[in-house]
Amino acid sequence: MDAAISYLQRDSSALKRTIDMNRTAMNEGGFSDESYTAFLGTIEDLNTKETAQEKAVKDAEDKTAAQNEIISNTVKLIRDVRAAAKSAYGKDKRSLNMFKIGDSIPKSVKSLIPLCSYMIEQVQEKKEVLLKNGLKQSKIDELIAAPAELKAADDIQENAKKIQMSRTLERDA
């Protein structure tokens, strides 16, 4: 929760209690029911927008966690492919380079998708050899599905972040 919003909520609550305790004197001084109703409406509006913003933050965090899990699973798949390639090709540097063994595996979706696509091509070309050296067909199938899963998770997470930003702007206004 934003500190300024927290202060506004606390101050408005204190002000409401003060108004309620002194309502008769305030009414005599010209404080109208319309002003009081508008004040209560503003408090409720702020509380509603704060709740919506907090839900949007939580949703964005959940979507990011889901995306991170897919990234982690994809990294594991690439490691499994590389392990099978190492087993199949031993010290053949040319073949090992085809599987980018020794290169770091990126952690961002934008960099991981092209690497997955490249690895899929390599796996499909060398499928028989890799299957004989420990790679399972289920892992190949997961790798083939990984770019679409990464893209979908990234789109969902980016949308959640946009909604969070929108809710924050609405609340702050």
Q: How far apart are CA 46 and CA 73, in angstroms?
A: 41
137 with 107: CB under 8 angstroms? no
User: Which pLDDT belongs to residue 28?
Assistant: 83
Q: How far apart are CA 169 and CA 173, in angstroms?
A: 6
The pTM (predicted TM-score) of the whole model is 0.80
Per-residue pLDDT of the chain (173 residues; tens, 9 = 90+): 578 888 888 888 888 898 888 888 888 888 888 988 998 999 999 999 999 999 999 999 999 999 999 999 999 999 999 999 999 988 888 988 999 998 999 999 999 999 999 999 999 999 999 999 999 999 999 999 999 999 999 999 999 999 999 999 998 88
For the stretch 71-74, contacts whose Cβ atoms lie closer than 8 Å and that sit 24 or more positions apart, written own/partner, are 71/107, 71/109, 71/112, 71/150, 73/142, 73/146, 74/112, 74/116, 74/143, 74/146, 74/149, 74/150
User: Which pLDDT belongs to residue 36?
Assistant: 87
Beta-carbon neighbour count of residue 170 at 10 Å?
14
100 with 89: CB under 8 angstroms? no
User: Which pLDDT belongs to residue 35?
Assistant: 87
